[in-house]
A and B are shown apart, each in its own frame.
Chain A
Amino acid sequence: MSVPRLDAIVIGSGLEELVAAARLAGAGRRVVVLEPRDSVGGAAAGEQILPGFRMDPVYADAGFLDPRALGDLELDRHGVSLLTPDPFLAAPADRGDSLVLWRDLARSRASIARRSAGDADHWPGFAARMETFARVLEELAGRPPVRPGGPLLDLAPFLGLGRRIRGLGRERMTELFRVLPLPAHDLLEDEFRDPLLKGVLAAMSVRGVFQGPRSPGTALAFLHHHVGSPGGVFGIRTVVRGGVARLADALATAARARGVEIRLGASVERIACTNGRAAGVALASGEEIVSRVVVSGADPRRTLLDLAGTEALDPDFVHAVRQIRFRGGFARIHLALSEAPRFEGISEAVPGVIAIASDLEHVERAYDDAKHGRASELPVLEARIPSLADASLAPEGRHVMSVDVRFVPVGDRGQGDYAPDALADRVVELLAERAPTLPGTILERKVLMPADMEERYGWTNGDPYQGELALDQLLFMRPVPGWAGYRTPIPGLYLCGTGTHPAGAITGASGRHAANAVLEDLGGAR
């Protein structure tokens, strides 16, 4: 048998895949990236709603750009610049009132104080505590997951983390343990009185989970989304000027500069195994490509059950993969607007999130509807108008808006409640209650239902997290217990997507950890 020319095939050109590819190439490995679509970036690839109106189909922000993963890729040289939306969160309230959170703590306090003086007093302490906890998760995200049942020596790097956690002091440390499995509902009820503040924070806590805020574990999801928030301000996420697509393009440029070949329109149909080892892939075109290893950014289920096939796998392992919960439940509506909408009670332009979540009950009920399989009567919305901070996204004076809709049950596309148009109509109607001029300014709209995301990106049930961010699907349990180290039972086959630790909204860490695992097995850099 001939020696493969390639060291690694990377399936998909999403952010993690590009990070993995760039790192492998940086270590002197020959790498080809195979992207089924005709542009680089996978789900991060940009699109247009109308000519000149640019959108990021599913990403809302860059997530936490892990400096350890991205630091040496010199992304700024490749055109990536980051913006911090300010105010970062706003919520219109009844009677022309509102809640607006700013980078400037004092301004946030003043806004909260208009609704509850006690909450305003609590906010800085709460924000600081949550930030401390998010930093601990950040530390965890920066390392490959440890196997608590594995060899003792493997635990050694975690002594440092243990010290760090204990370094929080007893009170903070035990508070962290208490908070992690807590329902966001309880966490917020303990702290705040204003229903609106609790509602919008609860809306954050259900990103990536198909659970209502009363469910244990949603406090962890809440914290997860604050990993990497800029120091001193809790809750802000940075966005990429020009959209996340810019980040994908820059990563692609960086990868190519290191010698990675990126092939577009190359849809992988099968991962080929020889003697039980992944030895390459077969494309839909019939072409076969041979390589020493295969790194897949497709979700774990698709990778292992569809692409690799179950024949070679242990039935228990197959069972475990089948049990991964992909619940999706997230839809995105994109609007091209002739002018920026004005939300009642909010005088300033909000480039951050505009949340429609009036209280905890609202969020909980939206989940209850979906859990029983129907569209939420009153969906929870998080809208963004990124063109307010970044004029390059729309023609002059015009705007783009994207609306995240939570708890959209994964149904058959186009059926009844699940019809994209019905959902979009309902969402616009709800937004119009707070921004009456909005409907008349809509030039075009595009709806991405969970089923669309499944079809476009291959995500099981349209789950952008490639596996729910639930307590039992994190750390050493992700994607399946015992196989959290980016390797799979098939030698030579690796996973690198958000379906692996540290999961969604943390960019680059998974790709970096996966590349490290590959390099370790291939004998390091060359």
Chain B
Amino acid sequence: MTVQIPRTWDAIVIGGGHNGLVCAAYLARAGRKVLVLERRPLVGGAAVTEEVFPGFRFTVFSYVVSLLRPEIIRDLDLPAHGLNVVPLESTFNPLPDGDYLATWADPEETRRELYRHSPRDADAYVEFGRLMQRMAMAVKPILGISPPDPGSWRPKDLLAMGRLGKHFRDLGEKELHALVKLMTMSSADYLSEWFESEALKAAKSASGIIGTFLGPRSPGTAYVLLHHYMGEIDGVFRAWGFARGGTGAVSESIASAARSFGAEVRTDAAVERVLVEGDRAVGVVLGDGKELRAKTVVSGLDPRRTFLELVEPASLPEELVSAVERFRFRGSSGKVNLALSELPNFTALPGMGPHLKGAIAIAPSVDYLERAYDDAKRGEFSRRPFLDMVIPSMLDPTMAPPGKHVMSIFVQYAPYHRNGGWDDASREAFGDAVVDTLAEYAPNIRSAILHRQVITPADIEAVTGLSEGNIFGGELALSQLFFLRPSPAWSDHRTPLRGYYQCGSGTHPGGGIMGASGRLAANAVIADGTA
């Protein structure tokens, strides 16, 4: 029998989601002794790949990659740890009138396709792409810094604010105005300034509503549109990509990198609470009552869990507690994963073709999306939802048995606060609405379905722990961004408790498989020298 020697860690990271893993990897890389504790049997949080049905592997929650910061990929040498992203070359949106709107890898081909819908839009599209790229460049530096506290007189904060001011002024007046518009407008209004074709406006505005509890006509959605453009800028990926092995493979590559720097990643290890002595976090208590001590504890969970559940809220400033209590989650999306005996056959573009290798969306008009939102506002899932789909088995044959396919369908809206709550019956009814919608465009889908997994926001919460099933760890709304994410003065990944840090998507910049929050938190820990 070996005697367990009590160990203390430099840092314990709670939650093995991608941000927790990124944080752990950076800390380990800086020579810290790091332990990651993941409640589930596998790492990844909302970025996991699981064999849900025998032979069929699904990226259960998140499904595409584009935002992962290139500096993280470089610093952690993720390709060496198995990261391999295949670009999604095309987008394909079937329309109710039997036509479709597509974009292709070849810009000339895209131009011809758009020209078919509107010659004016075909020209505007190129200009629009350039502007969005410039806007993304303008915002990019913000993703890499911790927000200053605008209420502080500390030289550090004043300097950071001055730098920000200068950064934005240096953009020039025209770009600044364009940025203000993007930050404040609805995606529908913003796109109407550019395009006339309804199909194109709808296709584009769909990315402005992903993960939000807002419709395309709600101000603030143009920013989410931009958020989804940020992945396009570094030339690492083109637009959206699919990771071979699913998004779980992304998580595993980060975990592998973390381990290579010496971090320990433990699964099936649920953290009950953070151990606090005085005003200091000194470790964690596991579900089985075991205590693990560390100089630093980093929470990769969302702000609600980080501040209201893992620690005693009474020990925190009231200002922070009430900010977190007000922080909006309101998960709005669900997921349907299909195991298919054959590929969907779209009436608008029949047969097998390159369009099945890209992103496929049911978003035929702005009004369609807005109506889908109306249902959610009233506490129901959309009867005719917005669907954002990929067929991973087209890009990575290992995802399904030979000749068979898996289809990943992101669905909006499915409100967490559904009238009457979610149960098995409403989950299946929601699944039916999704299949019915898809069947209108690809009638063979019904008979092709071998298995179906339906995931509601309540399921997302239950499995991943994300409060109210919000995929961004808190709404990406204007009032919850930058220094307001999650709370003023505590948006720099620190907390009022010494030695306690936060690194989840509910911190700046948040949202998507980006990893920036994890990296910024690690920087804060290292800068403080607490671990």
Task: Show the binding face of A for B, using Cβ within 8 Å.
Answer: 147-150, 166, 169-171, 173-174, 177-182, 186, 190, 211, 214-217, 319, 323, 325, 361, 364, 368, 371-372, 470-472, 477, 481-482
Contact = CB atoms under 8 A, between A and B. Distances in A.
B176 A149 contact: yes
A306 B152 CA distance: 49
Contact of B151 (A174, A179, A472): A174
B85 interface: no
A211 B218 contact: yes
Contacts, number: 104
Contacts of B193: 319, 323
A150 B483 CA distance: 25
Given A177-B150, A481-B177, A482-B174, A170 B185 contact: no
A179 B323 CA distance: 12
A129 B354 CA distance: 57
Given A174-B484, A216-B479, 10 more contacts: A148-B168, A149-B173, A170-B149, A171-B319, A174-B488, A181-B478, A214-B218, A471-B219, A481-B173, A481-B180
Contacts of B185: 470-472
A215 B218 contact: yes
B529 interface: no
Nearest to A216: B220
A178 B180 CA distance: 16
A170 B374 CA distance: 37
Interface in B159-173: 168-169, 171-173
Interface string B358-382: 0000000001001100100110000
23 contacts: A170-B151, A171-B151, A171-B319, A173-B151, A174-B483, A177-B483, A181-B219, A190-B326, A211-B217, A214-B377, A215-B218, A215-B219, A216-B220, A217-B184, A217-B219, A325-B189, A471-B184, A472-B181, A477-B177, A477-B181, A481-B173, A481-B180, A482-B177
A372 B150 CA distance: 40
Contacts of B219: 181, 211, 215-217, 470-472
A211 B214 CA distance: 12
Most chain-A CB neighbours within 10 Å: which of B177, B326, B328? B177
Contact of B479 (A173, A179, A477): A179
B525 interface: no
A198 to B, nearest CB: 15
A472 B180 contact: yes
Contacts of B378: 361
Nearest to A364: B377
Nearest to A316: B174
B448 interface: no
A178 B177 contact: no
A364 B181 CA distance: 24
Interface in B294-328: 319, 326, 328
B484 A148 contact: no
Interface residues of B, number: 40
Given A150-B173, A216-B477, A170 B326 contact: no
Interface string B131-155: 0000000000000000001111000
Contacts of B101: none
Interface of B: 149-152, 168-169, 171-174, 176-177, 180-181, 184-186, 189, 193, 214, 217-220, 319, 326, 328, 367, 370-371, 374, 377-378, 477-479, 483-484, 488-489
Contacts of A364: 377
A147 B174 CA distance: 11
A368 B168 CA distance: 36
A368 B218 contact: no
A147 B180 contact: no
A174 B483 CA distance: 9
B220 A170 contact: no
A216 B220 CA distance: 6
Contact of A216 (B149, B177, B218): B218
Contacts of A170: 149, 151-152, 488-489
Contacts of A166: 151
A371 B173 contact: no
A372 B365 CA distance: 13
Contacts of B149: 170
A422 B333 CA distance: 40
A364 B484 CA distance: 26
Contacts of B478: 181-182, 216
Contacts of B326: 190
Nearest to B374: A368
Contacts of A472: 180-181, 184-185, 219
B44 to A, nearest CB: 32
Nearest to A147: B173
A323 B169 CA distance: 24
B304 to A, nearest CB: 15
Contacts of A150: 173
A150 B171 CA distance: 11
Nearest to A480: B177
A216 B484 CA distance: 15
A149 B477 contact: no
Task: Please name the 10 residue pairs, one residue from A and one from B, whose CB atoms are nearest each other, closest first.
Answer: A170-B151, A149-B173, A481-B177, A181-B478, A174-B488, A471-B184, A216-B220, A472-B184, A217-B219, A149-B176
A181 B173 contact: no
A372 B488 contact: no
A178 B174 contact: no
Nearest to B220: A216
Contacts of B181: 472, 477, 481
Contacts of B189: 325
A483 to B, nearest CB: 10
Nearest to B477: A216
A179 B185 CA distance: 16
Contacts of A361: 378
A339 to B, nearest CB: 40
Contacts of B169: 148-149
A319 B189 CA distance: 14
A186 B218 CA distance: 14
Contacts of A471: 184-185, 219
Contacts of B374: 368
Contacts of A178: 479, 484, 488
A427 to B, nearest CB: 24
A182 B480 CA distance: 9
Nearest to B326: A190
A372 B173 contact: no
A319 B196 CA distance: 14
Contacts of A177: 150, 483-484, 488
Contacts of B377: 214, 364, 368
Contacts of A477: 177, 180-181
A372 B184 contact: no
Nearest to B174: A482
Contacts of A217: 184, 219-220
Nearest to B189: A325
Contacts of A319: 193
A181 B185 CA distance: 11
B222 to A, nearest CB: 9
A212 to B, nearest CB: 8
Nearest to A368: B374
Contacts of B152: 170
A372 B319 CA distance: 40
Nearest to A186: B328
A173 B180 contact: no
A474 B374 CA distance: 27
A147 B176 CA distance: 10
A371 B370 contact: yes
Contact of A181 (B176, B186, B217, B220): B220
Nearest to A174: B488
Contacts of A181: 184, 219-220, 477-479
B112 to A, nearest CB: 25
Contacts of B151: 166, 169-171, 173-174
Contacts of B168: 148-149
B380 to A, nearest CB: 13
